[in-house]
Chains A and B, each alone.
Chain A
């Protein structure tokens, strides 16, 4: 077992509690209507995210899946930025252009995922490839639920990482459910560790609700990658304790199974370990959780007080040089009111009477007022 100091262990406990407190606050904001999109919780999976990310160094990179809030917090993500992101604020990491955890923050080594599954591994492979080409001893880590590993992109990504011997650690979060589909209906393999054989990847199965065991496996895989010995797979056995998202009360889950996994709650378990090993007292941990509650509440208030983006910001940043279609006459803006379009974008057209456009009247004429001083172009009659 890799060694951790008391401070590090308390820090891990804190990150797990922060994850839960932050998500509980997000749920409150969702019910209050501050979050306009989906909300996906990681309840019950906090140890997998925190324990794995804790094995990385600051110069490494990580790409989360949707239930890896804890990994982002370990990387140093400020809670206020997560609240801004979920509540669609202008000063959110994506400026309100995308939701959930879909942001990239290079200084924290965070690569944002997108919703189609398996994709962030394929992209993070390029980051790992860059490390390898430059001879840097840096490592990448990413996450996939067992459902995500059934995509073609995931298969290609796992194989590419393996055959290119990239410094990559893939954490397969076996949380039993891909939305409503139980994992034994996602694949015919008996154990999810079996998939590693197809790629020639070293694999280790861990209790994903035991943060120390997750950390130990991640440390081993990260060290292997850093030594230039290639990619690894970790299969974390865990359980998704809530529905896929807020809209899903998961009627397809057996309450007894859920109750059994509640007994294995990763925060309760690690809290007992910390107390039994004399690293902190029950009162000390309770005080820590109280501080986190206040910190989270303040961050949420700060985020919600910020502005939403200006509507026109929807146009910006699709390309490096903008705008791609700035004010040209067939854009929506011009349809709403041609007079609003920037000066000079109106097409040159024939002057004088008798052109089809001017003689026909109708809405086409109405939006062209004030644009008569054009003299070039062909004169012609009333059309064919």
Chain B
């Protein structure tokens, strides 16, 4: 990828030119291009330098940018986030990698008590990005599979994004790095190499934080989701169209804080039947908040109660039959959708 980027810079892209890019490469490209164009951007984390990151997102970065901008740290998530905050006070834009977002837990204090509150308290913000892989489905067990967004959802001062497409992975990471507030960037490990898209090479891809995306238009039912569940929702929508002639809309939130309240209200008012889908556990999951938004903004348009389809209220199990049972499947979405349509 690094080589391709360099080649691109030598030869101006033709108008309308595109290149096949995976979700993982899109993250790489966003980091690479921001570091190329802005000296204040640097990355730090465990194994990001010599090894190039556990998922090879930052492979080649150490050679290109040197050890002051690609910093291999001890296994110290609190120290990583803490140093990021301090450097941001001095004008840097650090991008901290959590090797797995499950390991954000030791940095919780630094994120919640320092990064999130520092602007409110002192007037000096923390322009930092904390990025890393989330999500289940990779048979990775309880500590390499979690979706931690709701731990942070109730913390003012933070922003959170969770791209589902390669385009959004690139555009949201660039926007996150440029955003003056601390952004948690959740990349879904299941999508890293499974999602490939033709991305334009002749335009700057930038996706604003706080704006949802209609993944698929529909009239009869809305499925509001994000991350890898966008594809579960899309497959369910395909089945509904084929088997029942039902037109389901899939809204990909992309940003989890702030949530695009207008887009949520718009799709709810349009279809009158809302299903919220996510792969985090149910109780206290963001689906509850989205449901509340629908009730407050679109209650009078609803033809049925809002339904949630989520993981079960357990840790993420390891063995395939257990993990598949844990995660929402297409059939689960179809069951809820049929219930909503029959209501």
Q: Which residues of A are in contact with B by a Cβ distance under 8 Å?
A: 93-95, 97-98, 102-104, 106, 111-112, 114-116, 119, 121-133, 152-153, 156-157, 159-160, 163-164, 317-321, 324, 328-330, 347-350, 355-357, 377-378, 380, 383-384
Contact = CB atoms under 8 A, between A and B. Distances in A.
A131 B118 CA distance: 21
Contact of A152 (B78, B87, B296): B78
A160 B157 CA distance: 26
12 contacts: A93-B122, A119-B82, A122-B79, A130-B92, A132-B68, A160-B74, A160-B76, A160-B82, A348-B269, A349-B300, A355-B300, A378-B272
B74 A163 contact: yes
Given A153-B109, A349-B300, A384-B304, A129 B181 contact: no
Contact of A317 (B94, B120, B343): B120
Given A153-B78, A357-B300, A380-B272, A123 B86 contact: yes
A194 B298 CA distance: 63
Contacts of A104: 89, 118, 122-124
Contacts, number: 172
B122 A319 contact: no
Contacts of B90: 126-127, 130-131
A127 B86 contact: yes
Contacts of B42: 133
Contact of A119 (B114, B159, B179, B293): B114
Contact of B157 (A112, A318, A378): A318
Given A94-B122, A98-B121, A320-B180, A129 B89 contact: no
Contact of B74 (A156, A350, A383): A156
Interface residues of B, number: 61
Interface string B57-74: 000000000001101011
Contacts of A132: 68
Contacts of A133: 42, 68-69, 87, 92
4 tightest A-B CB contacts, nearest first: A126-B86, A122-B82, A130-B90, A320-B180
A378 B69 CA distance: 55
Contacts of A380: 272, 300-301, 303
Nearest to A102: B121
Given A102-B121, A125-B83, 16 more contacts: A97-B121, A106-B124, A112-B122, A119-B109, A123-B110, A126-B92, A130-B92, A156-B106, A157-B82, A159-B79, A160-B79, A317-B119, A317-B120, A330-B293, A380-B272, A383-B302
A111 B89 contact: yes
Given A350-B300, A380-B301, A160 B124 contact: no
Contacts of A124: 86
Given A126-B82, A157-B82, A318 B120 contact: yes
Interface in B293-315: 293, 296-305
Contact of B296 (A98, A106, A329): A329
Contact of B85 (A123, A164, A329, A377): A123
Nearest to A138: B90
A132 B120 CA distance: 28
B52 interface: no
Nearest to A103: B122
Interface string B272-310: 100000000000000000001100111111111100000
Instruction: Choose among B90, B122, B297 the residue with the greatest number of A CB atoms under 10 Å from its CB.
Output: B122
Nearest to A316: B120
B184 to A, nearest CB: 14
Contact of B91 (A130, A159, A378, A383): A130
A349 B300 CA distance: 7
Given A156-B76, A347-B298, A377-B301, A119 B86 contact: no
A102 B114 CA distance: 11
A50 B206 CA distance: 50
B265 interface: yes
A377 B123 contact: no
B88 A126 contact: yes
B148 interface: no
Contact of A350 (B86, B265, B301): B301
B319 interface: no
Nearest to B270: A378
A92 B119 CA distance: 15
A124 B118 CA distance: 13
Contacts of A159: 74, 76, 79
Given A97-B120, A317-B119, A126 B89 contact: yes
Nearest to B343: A384
Contacts of B293: 330
